[in-house]
Amino acid sequence: NHSIVRDRAKLVYYYFTHYLINFAFNIISGASITINQIIEKDLDKLMKRTEARPLPTHRITVRKAKLFA
C-alpha cells in the first residue's frame, strides 16, 4: 500500500513539474517574441510580409505590447 502511495506521489510530482516547466517556457517564449516585435515594428512597416502585423498597423499599442511582455 505504501509503495502505491509513494509511486502515485512521484507521478503527481512528475506531471506537476512537467506542467510548470512547460508553462514557464511558453511565458518566456511569448515575452521574447513580443519584445522582438516591439524592436522591429518600424522595419515591419517596410516589408510586405510583415506590414500587416498588429504593431505596425497600430491595432496594438507599444504600451500594451510591453505590458504583455
What is the average pLDDT across 38-49? Answer: 95
Distance between start and end Cα atoms, the chain: 47
**Closest by CA position to 40, among listed 50, 31, 48, 30:** 50
The pLDDT of residue 4 is 80
The pLDDT of residue 2 is 77
Q: How confident is the model at residue 1 (pLDDT cuts 50, 70, 90)?
A: low
Mean pLDDT of the chain: 94
DSSP annotation of 58 reads T
Dump pLDDT digits (tens) for 50-62.
999 999 999 999 9
Please give the grid coordinates belonging to residue 68. Answer: 504583455
Q: Is the pLDDT of residue 48 over 70?
A: yes
- Which whole-number Å values give the CA distances from 4 to 9, 12, 15, 17, in the listed order? 9, 12, 16, 20
DSSP 33-55: HHHHHHHTHHHHHH-TTTTTSTT
